[in-house]
Homo-oligomer: A and B are copies of this chain.
Amino acid sequence: MPSPHALALDELHGSLSDPVLDAMNFLNEVVGRFPQAISFAPGRPTEGDFEPEDLARHLHTYTSHLEETLGWSRDQVRTQLFQYGRTNGIIHELIARTVANDEGIEVPPEAVVVTTGCQEAMLLILRALFAAPEDTLLVSSPCYVGITGVARLLGIRVRPVPEGPAGPDPEAVSAAVRAAREAGERVRAFYVVPDFANPSGTSMSLPDRERLLRVAEEEDLLVLEDDPYGFFVRTGSARPTLKALDTGRRVVHLGSFAKTALPGARVGYVIADQEVIGPGGRRSLLADELSKIKSMTTVNTSAVSQAVIGGLLIESDCRLREANAGAIAYYRTNMDTLLDELERHFPAERRAELGISWNRPDGGFFAVVTVPFAADHKALELSARTYGVLWTPMSDFHLDGGGTHQLRLSCSAQSPESITEGMARLAAFITAQSTGTAA
């Protein structure tokens, strides 16, 4: 009998030894080791008033819609739910109607690819767009690890564009494209979360959105707009998405139902209404090209999951923003509470004295606190063990060595009461670290 075969990690793909993955594993492991700690770490949504029985209702709503509204036969409904189906999804029309109602995004349903969460959408679009060794992806930095992770899997070069307090600066994007060109690279796309970014909480102004679209035109690149948090406005009113402003088909819009409906369904989508010109001038939609890749990643998005989300969209009359009124209020209260508590624990004079500051996001799940000490994994472990509070080191989101003295706080997964208690613990931790007081 042979001895059991073992593999060497350093002979497996390099992405498996990537420091970002190690960082994410460390975070998960710390969260798991301190279950009693109050956690401002995960960006997971509220469960609201979700009950498991809702799933059966959503399914029934969807099948009734097929039978009663669309006049489908029982056999057709059965095949729709049971079989392999259309690669680009079965609820694309409902999604197209929803983004028209909620965002003013007007695209043909055929431009919508339904994906296994927004993560698969990133995988599809990066694989399609990046072909040659000189192709480069720009990302707003600090950056969501989902996009840099896919780039790592596919061996795609990434250049960070440092963002300012109001999100990415279009002129900096333009400068990065030129710098890449001088280095012999070709920038294919720029990835950005324009509303309440993960991890920084920043948002782009309307003029900056318009300037970014002009830069995309001038420099001949696509903008990959990721928009999971856009509904969750805290102050002011919602700004138009880049896709809603996109008259030149420069924007590929990545969407998710994880925050606005049901993370457990794993349904996201990508809107890719660009034309692709093939041999002999044959034209297709970029969405059609993405379907070729999807047939090699997951074949179909679960029909069961799509039926659940489809039912939920029908129940909300394809107006998901209105259906999220409760969640919007919930996150607003949570972020207000978080910022108020920071203010209460660190009033102006005190924070100036200690060297502490934070941003005040207009919405979303995340805020960033800057501290006078290294907010690293060691500090996180101390915070968890001694103070019973968890957060995420911002340095884990930087590709260029930044964020070493910053914490990301997520307000999405705690009640206001729990936020208040957690912020008291965090204030004790930050104060002790900032003043050199032993815990």
| CB of A298 within 8 Å of the partner chain | yes
Using Cβ atoms and an 8 Å threshold, which residues of chain B touch A59?
Answer: 52, 55-56
Judging by beta carbons under 8 Å apart, are A123 and B84 in contact? Answer: no
Judging by beta carbons under 8 Å apart, are B52 and A265 in contact? Answer: no
Residue in chain B with minimal CB distance to A80: B264
Per-residue interface assignment for chain A, residues 308 to 321, with 1 indicating a CB less than 8 Å from any chain B CB and 0 otherwise: 10000000000000
| CB of A180 within 8 Å of the partner chain | no
**Complexed CA–CA distance, A307 and B131 (Å):** 38
Residue in chain B with minimal CB distance to A273: B4
Using Cβ atoms and an 8 Å threshold, which residues of chain B touch A8?
Answer: 276-277
Judging by beta carbons under 8 Å apart, are B7 and A116 in contact? Answer: no
**Complexed CA–CA distance, A117 and B25 (Å):** 25
**Complexed CA–CA distance, A117 and B120 (Å):** 13
> In the complex, how many angstroms separate the beta carbon of A12 from the nearest chain B beta carbon?
5
> In the complex, how many angstroms separate the beta carbon of A364 from the nearest chain B beta carbon?
17
Using Cβ atoms and an 8 Å threshold, which residues of chain B touch A47?
Answer: 78-79, 82-83
Residue in chain B with minimal CB distance to A279: B9
**Complexed CA–CA distance, A96 and B5 (Å):** 20
Judging by beta carbons under 8 Å apart, are A264 and B153 in contact? Answer: no
Residue in chain B with minimal CB distance to A308: B304
Judging by beta carbons under 8 Å apart, are A297 and B44 in contact? Answer: no
| CB of A274 within 8 Å of the partner chain | yes
**Complexed CA–CA distance, A131 and B18 (Å):** 13
Judging by beta carbons under 8 Å apart, are B249 and A13 in contact? Answer: no
| CB of A73 within 8 Å of the partner chain | no
Binds B, one of A162-170, A233-241, A287-295, A351-359: A287-295
Binds B, one of A144-152, A375-383, A395-403, A415-423: A144-152
| CB of A69 within 8 Å of the partner chain | no
| CB of A14 within 8 Å of the partner chain | yes
Using Cβ atoms and an 8 Å threshold, which residues of chain B touch A185?
Answer: none
| CB of A258 within 8 Å of the partner chain | yes
> In the complex, how many angstroms separate the beta carbon of A235 from the nearest chain B beta carbon?
28
> Which of B13, B56, B276 makes the CB contact (< 8 A) with A127?
B13
Q: What are 13 A-B pairs with beta-carbon distances under 8 A?
A: A4-B274, A6-B275, A9-B284, A12-B128, A51-B78, A119-B297, A120-B298, A146-B299, A150-B296, A262-B304, A298-B298, A302-B304, A304-B305
Q: Which 10 A-B pairs have the closest CB atoms?
A: A2-B248, A264-B303, A149-B296, A56-B56, A9-B278, A6-B275, A266-B302, A4-B249, A116-B298, A302-B305
Which residues of A does B touch, CB under 8 Å? 1-17, 21, 24-25, 42, 44-45, 47, 50-52, 55-56, 59-60, 63, 77-85, 116-117, 119-120, 123, 127-132, 146, 149-150, 152-155, 217, 222, 247-250, 258, 262-267, 274-279, 283-284, 286, 289, 292-293, 295-305, 307-308
